Structure 1
Amino acid sequence: MSKLLTAIGLMSGTSLDGIDVALLRTDGEEQVERGPAATYPYRPDQQALLHDALAAAKSLEAREQRPGILGLAERELTDWHAEAVERFLGEHGLEASVIDVIGFHGQTVIHRPEKRLTVQLGLGGALAERLGIPVVYDMRAADVAAGGQGAPLVPVYHRALAAALPERPAALVNIGGVANMTWVGPEGDLIAFDTGPGNALLNDWCERFTDVAYDRDGALGARGHVAADALAELLNSTFFATAAPKSLDRNSFNASTLDGLSAEDGAATLTRFTAEAVSASSKLVPNLPRLYIICGGGRLNPTLMRDLRNLLETSDSKVISAEEAGFNGDSMEAEAWAYLAVRSLKGLPITFPGTTGAPQPQSGGLIARP
């Protein structure tokens, strides 16, 4: 039996809602012991800085560039993550010395794998120095440099979780800012790809019309009607005809086609768009999943879950939430980053031809030691 390492995973996703922290004990292979987790929401001023960084990143042409506000955002983001870890350790009575490694996702500000460019803000060395714990970071870059999509990276962790599932093939669908699907076959074979927008477009739409930057309880969308023409235009993107593996930037789609719609109708249309994109993606795998497990913030939107069930459920297929499967839908990506950090320390691959399109399995991540 391989030695278990104690790891913390840190995730700040494209929804820009906060920092997820999760503790995991794992060998980076089949043994996984999930520990406590927490989310530390961003303040409005922090979200504003990240939005400004996303806008500024559109001009980036190289992974190392940090002009203007991007350098400030990277330093600030690193401090926020350090504070989140310190708070997490304090809340759970843990000493830094018991943590073997931290997996640090950082903040993706641009993802253009077709240009072999992906940028995740985050100073791994500064984080390791402040916390006194080794940090694995910049985990997408090696895959992109090798010609892969650099995303999604969570599938190898999904496979470890799926080992306990009663039915396969299964699909774990993570609906964050961007949505992605991991298909796990009966023998553990993996296919993974981004399915399309998750919550990002809907969040931006809600922020435009309401005081809340997301559709709380799916209530706005539930009051609206789907605009069929606008939905058809959104689904007409060449992305949906592209074979997997494939990945998206948060800003690959925009909601300009919805201009003129009411807040309610726009929310209903964008919610259905996310569900339709997942449904279309289910046709790209060898066999339809018997079980769809919905993870990420999207599972908390009853209107989206209703749409997913209407589109995906059959006599042979069922849609359930992460919690119904015995998982933690809020912390799964942070758990994955802890798992990936352990694999990186051991030199094990974190991406595969079937998950990112890389020519061969790729190890990845830079290691910073205090």
Structure 2
Amino acid sequence: MMLTTIGLMSGTSLDGVDVALIETDGKSIKSFGPSGYRPYTDKERSLLRQALTEAVDLSERDARPGILREAERAVTVAHAEAVAAFTAQNRLTCEDIDIVGFHGQTVLHRPERKLTVQIGDAAALAKAIHIPVMHDFRAADVAAGGQGAPFVPVYHRALAHSLEREGPIIVVNIGGVSNITYIDGNDTLIACDTGPGNALLDDHMLRTMNQPFDCEGRAAAQGAVDVAWVIRALEHSFFARPPPKSLDRNDFASLKLREMPPVDGAATLTAFTAEAITRIVPQLPKAPRSWIVVGGGARNLTLLRMLRERLRPVAVEAAETLGWAADSIEAQAFGFLAARGLKGLPLSYPATTGVPMPMTGGIIARP
């Protein structure tokens, strides 16, 4: 049975709430609906940055001390407003939607401690929007010993199969953290985080140029890469570990650039992201035949150029050139995952998160 789902995603880039509607049975995609976006305000973004700092000390996943309680309220309100605006704009009623997939805002990800924390009050959201909300997708995976990330690979597989091209195909999602999905036919699905995505670059742009991100990679395009710094950064123990593996947004925050012009810093951090992504290739079963870039990084033309230089002669394509909605894929994915959760289908696998067996997940909050 096909379900009409709305997926909501607020990623580690802290830019805002993506909204997307799809029709799916949790295995294939019948149709893509409209998408929307509700940016975080400067005040909300500042609040979330404070929450990320305070969350480092959390030891219980349900604890919301201090600023985290205020941040959770802000996240919940922002998502409720995003759904209200989306449904009104597209003339949808709550009866038109079967389920909403609500990821929440990740503030801490420490799978080695069996701890992953996404803030956002799903019960309050369900009451506000009058639609059942599936949430807490990662908890069961982490509790079973999995990495709890990445969780979008099953959706990437559904998208890749629609292309009907020969594998292996890699879908690389560049958000705050970068992750890849390796797809080779129906049987082989491997996934892991690869290293930094936009987070380090975004933080650098805000700190040095008072800009939330490097629009189209223009700053990086004007700068010179500190190659020695990138080489040292790649000595981080994370890169030698085989997949599956995952990261917290702040795992590389201790890496500090030397004094340099802001554009050189942007170029260096962009090159670090590109190099980190390409470092995964030797750890894969076979060399990929094509790469598809999704997420915010797909709009960074300098990052795309660097990836193409490093992966030549294999094609590196931005998702939108294939008709995929690059900005909405993660939101679509959580609508897809909500449908899978409702049907008890697996959300994660041993080769995607390191969980001992295929795991379903998610909890439903009803209005």
TM range (shorter): over 0.9
Give, in whole Å, the separation in 1 of the partners of 2:283 and 2:32. Answer: 31
Give, in whole Å, the separation in 1 of the partners of 2:366 and 2:106. Answer: 22
Give, in whole Å, the separation in 1 of the partners of 2:113 and 2:185. Answer: 35
Alignment partner, residue 172 of structure 1: 171
Consecutive unaligned residues in structure 2, runs of 5 or more:
none
Alignment partner, residue 301 of structure 1: 300
Q: Could you list the per-position Cα deviations for residues 63-92 of structure 1 after superposition, in whole angstroms to 9, with x for gaps in the alignment?
A: 111101101111121111001000000000
Consecutive unaligned residues in structure 1, runs of 5 or more:
none
Give, in whole Å, the separation in 2 of the partners of 1:211 and 1:72. Answer: 25
What's the TM-score, normalizing by structure 2?
Answer: 0.98
Deviates more, 1:128-137 or 1:254-263: 254-263
One-letter amino acid of the counterpart of residue 93, structure 2: E
Deviates more, 1:11-20 or 1:25-34: 25-34
Mapping of residues 317-332 of structure 1, within 5 Å? 317-332=314-329
Provide the secondary structure at the position in 2 that maps to 1:156: helix
Does 1:39 find its partner at 2:37? yes
> Is the 8 Å Cα contact of residues 147 and 358 (structure 1) preserved in structure 2?
yes
One-letter amino acid of the counterpart of residue 347, structure 2: I
Give, in whole Å, the separation in 1 of the partners of 2:256 and 2:126. Answer: 45
Give the Å deviation of 1:259.
2.7
One-letter amino acid of the counterpart of residue 264, structure 1: V
One-letter amino acid of the counterpart of residue 227, structure 2: A
CA RMSD, 1 decimal: 1.0
One-letter amino acid of the counterpart of residue 16, structure 1: L
| Matched positions, count | 366
One-letter amino acid of the counterpart of residue 66, structure 2: G
Give the one of 356, 360, 363 matched to 1:359. Answer: 356
Give, in whole Å, the separation in 1 of the partners of 2:90 and 2:11. Answer: 24
Alignment partner, residue 349 of structure 1: 346
One-letter amino acid of the counterpart of residue 204, structure 1: D
Mapping of residues 164-313 of structure 1, within 5 Å? 164-165=162-163, 166-254=165-253, 256-313=255-312
Give the Å deviation of 1:185.
0.6
Give the Å deviation of 1:168.
1.2
Mapping of residues 26-105 of structure 1, within 5 Å? 26-105=24-103
Give, in whole Å, the separation in 1 of the partners of 2:248 and 2:292. Answer: 23
Give, in whole Å, the separation in 2 of the partners of 1:197 and 1:32. Answer: 33
Give the one of 23, 38, 58 matched to 2:21. Answer: 23
Give, in whole Å, the separation in 2 of the partners of 1:131 and 1:228. Answer: 50
Give the Å deviation of 1:227.
0.6
> Is the 8 Å Cα contact of residues 141 and 147 (structure 2) preserved in structure 1?
yes
Give, in whole Å, the separation in 2 of the partners of 1:184 and 1:32. Answer: 20
Give, in whole Å, the separation in 1 of the partners of 2:180 and 2:189. Answer: 10
> Is the 8 Å Cα contact of residues 22 and 29 (structure 2) preserved in structure 1?
no
Provide the secondary structure at the position in 2 that maps to 1:347: coil
After the TM superposition, list the runs of 4 or more consecutive aligned residues in structure 1 that deviate by more than 6 angstroms: none
One-letter amino acid of the counterpart of residue 251, structure 1: N
Give, in whole Å, the separation in 2 of the partners of 1:149 and 1:32. Answer: 30
Alignment partner, residue 12 of structure 1: 10
Provide the secondary structure at the position in 1 that maps to 2:100: strand
Provide the secondary structure at the position in 2 that maps to 1:273: helix
> Is the 8 Å Cα contact of residues 2 and 23 (structure 2) preserved in structure 1?
yes
Give, in whole Å, the separation in 2 of the partners of 1:258 and 1:359. Answer: 39
Give the Å deviation of 1:188.
4.3
Provide the secondary structure at the position in 2 that maps to 1:75: helix
> Is the 8 Å Cα contact of residues 223 and 264 (structure 1) preserved in structure 2?
yes
Identity %: 52
